[in-house]
Structure 1
Amino acid sequence: MAQSAAVCFSSSVPYNSYTGQGEGAWPVSYSDSTQVAQSPVAGRDNPSVIRRAMAPPPSHGPVVPSQRGDLPPPPGQGGSLGLARERTNLNALGLPPRVIATIQNARAASTRSLYGCKWQVFEGWCDGRGLTSYQCSVPDILCFLQDLMEKGRSFSTIKVYLAAISACHVGFEGSLVGQHPLIRRFMKGARRSLPVTRRIVPEWDLSMVLEALSLHPFEPLGSISLKLLSLKTALLLALASAKRVSELHALSVHPSCAKFSLSGDKVSLKPNPAFMPKCFPAFTSEVLELSAFHPPPFASPEDQRLNALCPVRALRAYMTRTSAFRKSDQLFVSWAPPHRGSPISKQRLSHWLADAITMAHEAKGVQPLEGIRAHSTSGLATSWALFGGVSLQDVCSAASWASPHTFVRYYQLDVTRTSVAHSVLGVGSS
C-alpha cells in the first residue's frame, strides 16, 4: 500500500453508558507503585471470628500444569463460578447467598476462574506441608512465593498467585495478605529480581500477512469458505480497530449495535450493553466506526487489490453469510457443526486471529513462528499507526488505553512506516 494511504483507527464515540458486570479488582499499591489486584475478603475487620466459623476447605481436582503456569479450569467447573474458599469466608459472616453472589460478581468470570486455579495450587502446596491454607502465616506465604520464583515463574504470574491468596485467606489483623509490610517488601524485591522483559520487534510480518489476505485463498470473498471468511474478517477488524479480543468478542449484530451507512462505505459497531471493558470506567461504552478502504470505483488494479483488505467489505459479507443460521446477536459465531451459528468464546476468537496469521504465512510459503498470540495484533497495529503519523492520543483512544504509558511500556514495537485503520491496512502496499 502506498505510504500516503490514509488509514485511521476508528475514533471512539461515546453513547449512553450501561452498568454491567465489572472487573471489581481493588488495586493495592506497593511503595514503588507496583499493583496487585485485590478483592474484598471476609474477616478483614475481625479475622478471629471467621477462623472459629471456618469450614474445612473444599476438595479440588488436580491442577493442569503448563509451561506458562497452571491453567485455569475449563468453563463450567467450580473455578469459573467463583472462589469456593472466598464464598466460605463470606458465608461465615452470615451474608445471604444472593449477597455473596453479588460480591463475587465484582470480578469477571475469567478472573474468578484464574484465581480459583491459583488458589488450588496454593492449597496443594499447604496440604503437602500440613498447613491450613486460609490461615497460614506470613512466613509460609513468603516461602510459597519464593518457590514460585525459583521455579522460574514470571513476576506477573507471582502477582496473580498473591491476588488469589489475598482473596481467599482470612488476612492478618484486619488487613489483606497483599497489604502486609513483609509481603509488600518481598514483592518489591521479586520485581527487582525478575525484571519484566517484552518483545521490541514484531512477532510476525504485518505487510506479508496483509498481502496474503488480499489474494487466494482469502479471495475472492464471495466464493471462499465460511471458515476463511470468518478468520479474515476477525483479523481485519482486530487490525483496523486495535481492540482487545474481549472488546471484539463483545460486538453485536443487533440493529441497535451494528449499522451500515446508506452508501455502504461506513459501519458503526457497538458492544453488547452488558459488556464491561477492562478500562473501566473510562471506556464503559463506545462506538467503533470504520470507513471503507479503497472503495470502488477503482483507479488502478492496485486499488482493487487494496480493497480486498477493507474491513467494512469483509464485515458486510460475513454478516450476510451468517444471517441465515446465526443463533445469537454476538458478531462472531461458530461456522462448524454441531455448534454452527452459536456464539464463540473469547478463547476461540483468539484462536481465530492466531490461525488467520498462521494461514497467511503458509499461503506465502513462509513457515510461521511458533507461539503467535492474538494479543500481538494490538501492539503491531498501534505501533504502525504511530509510525504512520497518528497521534499518541488517538492511538490510545482507539485501543482503549487509559494512559500512554501502557502503550509505551507494553505494546510499542520497533516498526519502520496515516487515521489508525487506513495507516495499518496501508502497510500492504509496500
Structure 2
Amino acid sequence: MLIDTPILVYSKERSTDSSLQRHCPSIEQNIESNDMSCIRKQFIDRGISTKTASIMLCSWRKSTKKQYKVFVKKWFSYCRERKISEVQISINIVLDYLTILYENGLGYSSINTARSALSALGLVIDNVLVGAHPLVVRFMKGVYNLRPTKSKNICVWDVSLVLNYLRKLSPVNMLTLQEVTLKLVMLIALTNATRVQTLKFLSVDCMEKLRDEFVFHLDVLLKQSRPGYKNPDVKLRAFPPDRRLCVYTVLKEYIKRTEILRVHTKQLLISYIKPHKAVTCSTISRWIKVVLQKSGIDTRQFSAHSVRSAATSKAKLYNVSLADIMSKAGWTNVNTFATFYNKRIINSNSFDVNVLNN
C-alpha cells in the first residue's frame, strides 16, 4: 500500500537535500536506533513544533514502522555503497534498487513494501511520489507476473473438528482454569471471527451483561480502525441447542473463577498461571494453537489467525449473508473476504468413508 501523505518531500530542485545530510550525518545509524528520529528532525527543522511532529509521526502504526524500517535500512545501505545521495535520486536508481531486491529472491509483497517505504520517506521524482511513478508501477506489474503472490493455504480446516474437541471439555464447572480459558478463547474467536488483537483488548470494564448475551464494547485502536469507522461490538450469545458449545455459559464460569485473580488489570483474559497477569497477543495465539493441536489440526500449516478463515468460510457455506460475515469480521471491502478468507474447507473423511457412513 502506498502512503497518501508523504512525510518529507524532496525533488532534484529542492535545497533541503543538503540540509538533510548536514543535520543527519549518519542517517542509517539514526534509522537503526530510532527509525523515525531523522524524519522527526526534519519536521522540526522546517518549523514544525515538536508536539506537532510527534502527532504526524503517529500516522504510522507500530507494525508499519517495523516493516518499513527493514527496507529503509536497505535503501541507505544501497546508496552508501554506491556513494550516491539518498534523496537526490533518479528513477533509474530506484528501479535498480528494486531490481536488486528481486534478484535477491524477494517476492511481490516484499518488494511492494520496499516501494511503500521509499514513498514514506517522501522521495519525489518528476513531481510524483516515487512509489506512484509510472515506471515503478510498470516494474511492479512485471514483478507480479513473474513472481505472483500465492496464498499460503488454499483451503482451511473443518470447524467441526474443533467443535468436537470443545464438546469434550464439559461440564464447564468441572474443568480446570486452563481448560476453561482455552475453551473460552476458541469459542470467542469462532463465534466472532475476531483477530487475536481484539481478544486481547476485551475488558471487563467495557462488558455489558444482558439476559442471554455478553456484549463487549471496543473503544480502542484496532488494526481496521480508521476515521469514521466504529469498531463492531463483540457479542457472546447463549447457544441453547448445545450447552457444551455455549460461549455465554463458559464466560460466566470464567468470570466467576477469575474475579478474585484479576487484581491489577481490567483485561478479560489473564494467565491461568500465577501471578495471573494480563496476557499478550502471542500468548493468546499460543492458546488457540493448543486447541487446534488437540483437535487434530496441523499447526505447522495453520496459524491462530486461520480461525477467521475457518469461521467465515463455514458461515458462507451455510449461506450466511455476505453482509453479515463482513460486519462480524470488521471488513468493508468484499474483496478482502473473497481473496484472503473464503477458502475450501478440508473434509476430514475420505470419499469412501462418507459413502459407507451413508
CA distance in 1, matches of 2:116, 2:104: 19
Task: Give the letter aligned to residue 230 of structure 2.
Answer: T
Which position in structure 1 is the counterpart of 2:74?
Answer: 121
Larger proportion of helix:
2
From 149, 162, 172, the equivalent of 2:125 is: 172
5+ residue gaps, structure 2, are 348-358
Provide the rounded CA distance (Å) in 2 between the counterparts of 1:285 and 1:309. 26
Partner of 2:267: 330
Q: Which residue of structure 2 lines up, in the alignment, with residue 149 of structure 1?
A: 102
Deviations 1:366-415, CA, capped at 9 Å, x for gaps: 7x241421221111111100111211111111111102221112111123
**Pairing partner for 1:208 from 136, 161, 170:** 161
Distance 1:245 1:48, change over 3 A: same
TM-score (norm 2): 0.84
Quick one: structure 1 residues 129 and 159, their matched pair in 2 at CA, closer, same or farther if it must change by over 3 Å?
A: same
Q: Is residue 140 of structure 2 the alignment partner of residue 187 of structure 1? A: yes
1:333 CA displacement? 3.0
Alignment of 1:90-101 (within 5 A): 90-101=43-54
1:124 CA displacement: 3.2
SS in 2 for 1:290: strand
Single out whichever of 90-99 and 129-138 deviates more from structure 2: 129-138
Counterpart of 1:346 in structure 2 is 281
Question: Hey, what's the Cα distance between the residues in 1 that align with 2:78 and 2:257?
Answer: 51
Deviation for aligned residue 1:245: 2.6
- The equivalent residue for 2:230 is 284
**Structure 1, residues 240-270: CA drift from partner, whole Å, max 9, x if none?**
001223333332210xx21122x4x311111
* Amino acid of the structure 1 residue aligned with 2:245: L
Q: Which of the residues 46, 49, 61 maps onto 2:15?
A: 49
| SS of 2:204 mapped into structure 1 | coil
Between the aligned partners of 2:31 and 2:43, the Cα distance in structure 1 is 23
Match of 1:359 among 294, 297, 313: 294
* Match of residue 354 from structure 2: none
Equivalent residue number for residue 409 of structure 1: 339
Q: Which residue of 2 aligns with 1:394?
A: 324
Q: 1:156 to 1:373 in 2, by over 3 A?
A: same
Cα distance in 2, alignment partners of residues 45 and 121 from structure 1: 21
2:315 counterpart (385, 388, 394): 385
1:32 maps to which residue?
A: none
Distance 1:258 1:192 in 2: 48
Q: 2:327 & 2:164 partners in 1: Cα distance? A: 27
What SS class does the counterpart of residue 268 from structure 1 fall into?
A: strand
The one-letter amino acid paired with 1:373 is S
Letter of the structure 1 residue corresponding to residue 266 of structure 2: D
SS at match of 2:290: helix
Number of residue pairs the alignment of both structures matches: 341
> In 2, distance between residues paired with 1:348 and 1:49?
50
1:309 counterpart letter in structure 2: L
Correspondence 1:267 to 2:214:
yes
| Displacement after TM superposition at 1:219 (Å) | 4.1
| Contact 2:11/2:88 (<8 A) preserved | no
* Larger RCO of the pair (alpha carbons < 8 Å, separation 6+): 1
> For residues 148 and 227 of structure 1, do their structure 2 counterparts lie closer, same or farther at Cα, with a shift above 3 Å needed?
farther
Sort the Cα spacing of 1:345 and 1:147 in 2 relative to 1 into closer, same or farther, 3 A. farther
Tell me, in whole angstroms, the C-alpha distance in 1 between the residues paired with 2:137 and 2:258.
Answer: 51
Could you give the per-residue CA deviations for residues 129-164 of structure 1, whole angstroms, max 9, x where no partner exists? 434434444323222222322333232222222112
* 8 Å CA contact retained: 1:383, 1:412: yes
* 1:244–1:378 Cα contact (<8 Å) kept: yes
1:57-136 superposed matches below 5 A: 57-59=27-29, 78-79=34-35, 83-136=36-89
**SS where residue 128 of structure 2 aligns?**
coil
Kindly indicate whether the alpha-carbon contact (under 8 Å) linking 1:86 and 1:167 is maintained by their aligned counterparts in 2: no
